[in-house]
Amino acid sequence: MGKRRSVYLSFLLGPGAFWLLMFFVIPSLLVVVYSFMERSSSGGVIWNFSLEAYTKLFAFDPDSLFVNDFVVIFLRSFWWAILTTVACLLIGYPLAFYIAQQKPFTRTVMLFMVMIPFWTNFLVRTYAWKFILNNNGLINTFLSELSLPRVPLINTPTAVLIGLVYGSLPFMVLPLYASIEKFDYTLVEAGQDLGANYFRIFTRVFLPLTMPGVAAGCILVFIPAVGQYVVPTILGGGKVSMLGNLLAQQFGAALNWPFGSAIAVIFMILLMAGVLIYFTVEREEEAI
């Protein structure tokens, strides 16, 4: 049996693991190697060991707001990603809850309705937002028709946040819906019979049981939001950089691959640490 199990296991795990190691892990390691090489001003790297990229990334700059400009961009990206995640959670949780309560047919259709806009190119949708938010755009035209003052929207942090939330909302709704749908409402009745009010039932019963969905949603929203570069460029007017812009710049116009790789390595270490902490917490909960 033991032998059969291991044959079965290698059949299940083998192809996926091979694919992932071959076409994802090995190329990712290449980035780690790049980050320790010398910069070539023609793009690529010169194959000599160098810590230049990392010393640049952590050098103290007295003119900058905090440590140096790169750290400032890191912090801003994380802050905006947190705001995006919170906003998505605030809109997505009740939406997922509402959908989960519908009849099966309505439910399915509504879920597809959430996904369908995402089969249209992201750039095209973001440009459509620009058209809505422009100074002469839909919202402002509407306001001036009503003889109300125009609101500056485009090229502001508000516009960036709208774009970020728009781009991430379904990735919050899908996992949330999955966990809310599984919820057994007899538990709520039990709580009511025990005299608990709705707020208590929500915080003590409902929320803890849908927590895996919340966690999965947050991971799927937070991580891509940190690396976004299209939204800040189009809706934010490219006035402030996020981490994604910094990376695109280093691999692009700057042709500084080692430095871009170093930024990516630090970024991945931070996020990996976050994911591992989440695993540990989850396992402890499972143990309880």
Partner 1 sequence: MTVQQAQEGSLSRPAVTDTHYPPQRAGSLLLTWGKRLLWVNMVFSFVFLYAPILVLVIFSFNNSRFAAKWEGFTFQWYGQLLTNEAIISAFWNSIIVAVSATLISTVLGTMTAIAMERFRFPFRKTYDGILYLPVIVPDIVMGISLLAFFALALDWINTALALPVDSALRPGLTTVIIAHVAFNISFVAIVVRTSLRDFNKALEEAAQDLGANEWITFRRITLPLIMPGILGGALLAFTLSLDDFVITFFTTGPGGTTLPIDVFSRIRRSISPEINAISTLMLLMSIVLVMASQSLQRRRD
Partner 2 sequence: MTGNSKSHWLLILIVSITLGLIVSACGGQTAAPAAEEAAPTEESVAEESADQAIAEAPGAEEAAESAVEVEVEKAKDEVAAEEATASDHCGDPSQLATELNIFNWAEYMDPDILTQFEEECGVTITQDLYSSNEDLIAKLLAGNSGYDLVFPSDYAVQILISEGLLAELDKANIPNIKNLNPNLMGMYYDPDNIYSVPYQWGTTGLAYNVTAFPDGPPESWGAIFEPDQVCNLSGFVTMLDDEREVIGAALLYLGYSYNETDPEAQKKAEELLKAQKECLAGYDSDNFTASLTSEEILLAHAWSGGTALARAENENVAYTIPKEGGTIWQDNMTIPADAPRKYTAEVFINYILDPEIGAQLSNWTYYFTPNQAAEPLLDEEYFNLLESGGMLVDDETRETLQWIERNDETIIFSDTWTAVKAQ
Q: Within positions 117 to 146, which residues make up the interface with partner 1, using CB under 8 A?
A: 117-129, 131-132, 136, 138
Q: Return the range that interacts with partner 1 (CB under 8 A); candidates 60-68, 142-150, 152-160, 179-187.
A: 179-187
Cβ at position 190, least distance to partner 2 in Å:
28
Cβ at position 47, least distance to partner 1 in Å:
13
β-sheet bridge partners, residue 259: none
How far apart, in whole angstroms, are the C-alpha atoms of residue 199 and residue 82?
25
CA distances for 141 relative to 69, 156, 157, 236, angstroms: 38, 18, 21, 20
Q: How many C-alpha atoms does 232 have within 13 Å on its Cβ side? A: 20
CA distances for 18 relative to 8, 10, 151, angstroms: 16, 11, 54
Q: Decide whether 68 or 176 has the Cβ nearer to partner 1.
A: 176
| Residue 170: burial class (beta carbons within 10 Å; 0-12, 13-18, 19+) | buried
How far apart, in whole angstroms, are the C-alpha atoms of residue 145 and residue 133?
15
Q: Which pairing describes strands 37-39 and 45-49: parallel, antiparallel, or unpaired?
A: antiparallel
The residue assigned the tokens 């809310």 is 180
How far apart, in whole angstroms, are the C-alpha atoms of residue 172 and residue 92?
6
Q: Decide whether 49 or 185 has the Cβ nearer to partner 1.
A: 185
How far apart, in whole angstroms, are the C-alpha atoms of residue 36 and residue 55?
11
Q: Decide whether 27 or 62 has the Cβ nearer to partner 1.
A: 27
Cβ at position 137, least distance to partner 1 in Å:
9
Residue 31, interface with partner 1 (CB under 8 A)?
yes
Binding mask 165-204 for partner 2 (x = CB under 8 A): ----------------------------------------
Q: Which of the residues 13 through 52 are near partner 2 (CB under 8 A)?
A: 39, 41-44
Residue 236, interface with partner 2 (CB under 8 A)?
yes
Q: Which of the residues 117 through 146 are near partner 2 (CB under 8 A)?
A: 127, 130, 134-136
Q: Decide whether 111 or 246 has the Cβ nearer to partner 2.
A: 246
Q: Which of the residues 202 through 261 are near partner 1 (CB under 8 A)?
A: 212, 216, 219-220, 223, 227, 243-244, 247-248, 251, 257, 260-261
Other Cβ atoms closer than 10 A to 21: 10
Residue 56, interface with partner 1 (CB under 8 A)?
no
* Site residues for partner 2 per CB under 8 A: 39, 41-44, 63-65, 69-70, 72-73, 127, 130, 134-136, 152, 154-155, 233-234, 236-241, 245-246, 249-256
